Amino acid sequence: MAKVDYIARETGHNLLRNISLTLASMVTVAVSLSLVGSALLLRQGVQNATARWEGGIEFIVFVNADASGEQIQALNEALSESPAIESHTYVDQEAAYDEFREMFSRTPEMIEAVEPDILPSSFRVVPTNPDAAAIRAVGEQFDDQPGVFRVVFAFDTVQQVQRLSRVLSIGILFVAGVLLLAAGLLILNTIRMAMFARRREIEVMKLVGATNWFIRVPFMLEGLIQGIVGAAVAVGSVVVLNNFFESRLSGSGDSFAILQGFAVSSGEVFGTSLFVLGVGIFVGVIGSGIAVSRYLDV
């Protein structure tokens, strides 16, 4: 118990001795890991958003919310009679809501925030010719049909979203990597300065027979705590940003119809949070481990 009390006391003293560097390390870890978590959730959101295009659907005809039954029937007949269309499926508002509920089955707060009447009905269309130009020509025939809100093409939407996601993810992860390296160096420098300030005490401890690990543990715990605190702040930031995004998306109605599946589930957020926390612990342990092995002669 005396050893535990000593280690806890010395770790606290080390953290407070260089409070400015300690805070700088924690903030840098928090910012970098917030970017890492955001990039991971962005990639998962893109995968969710493009899941609806699986199964050969090449374009979707979204129907106006106030379209009459006659307009929907006329649109259905036009799709059925077109020789350029292999098959099509009508998804009414209730079916769209069921699909939405399935996508967000692990996020009940999203389901509670959305009503079936704000989700547009649609026709999911599979053309006979897979050529992009031919698909566009077929889809554009229905742009001006009565009751049509918008025609969205799979290749355009998927490519644009994936391209944007790829560029953003690479940029975010690069910046996050640089900041993580800076955080590791800050942790290393903080511990190095703490060891320098206590060099006389360390020499006395060695003379009276203190073991290597007895001297090292408080410094390593210092780095570990900096990593954990920074990661915890990052997890909170990622969760808050994700909740803000979901609230904006759920209240946008038809404006983001194509991105209804973009939000991520609570399970995916939890998994990302665990990863971010693990990276924070890793950075803290590595930074402190290098410091005690390089600058502490025990």
* Phi/psi at 104 (5° precision): -115, 35
- How many other CB atoms sit within 10 Å of the CB of residue 80? 10
**β-pair type (122-127, 85-91):** antiparallel
Residue 191 structure tokens: 């511990």
- pLDDT lower than 70: segments of the chain: 1-7, 14-15, 48-57, 106-107, 132, 154-159, 161-162, 197-198, 202, 210, 212, 248-263, 295-298
**pTM (2 d.p.):** 0.58
pLDDT at 196: 74
Q: For the packed helices 2-17 and 19-49, what is the interaxial angle rounded to 10 degrees?
A: 90
CA distance 1 to 3: 5
Residue 138 structure tokens: 């077929």
Phi-psi region of 253 (alpha: psi -120 to 50; beta: other; left: phi over 0): left
Give the angle 102-106-110 at the CA atoms, nearest 5°.
Answer: 80
> Mind listing the domains of the chain with CATH numbers?
2-50+162-295 (no CATH), 52-158 (3.30.70.3040)
pLDDT at 1: 46
Q: Over pLDDT 70: what percentage of the chain?
A: 79
Give the three-state DSSP class for 82.
coil
Give the three-state DSSP class for 130.
coil
pLDDT at 233: 92
Per the DSSP assignment, residues forming a β-bridge with 151 are 61
CA-atom Rg of the chain in angstroms:
28
Give the three-state DSSP class for 151.
strand
Q: What is the CA 57 to chain-centroid distance, rounded?
A: 27
Closest CA to 227 of 164, 184, 263: 184
Per the DSSP assignment, residues forming a β-bridge with 152 are 60
CA distance 200 to 191: 15
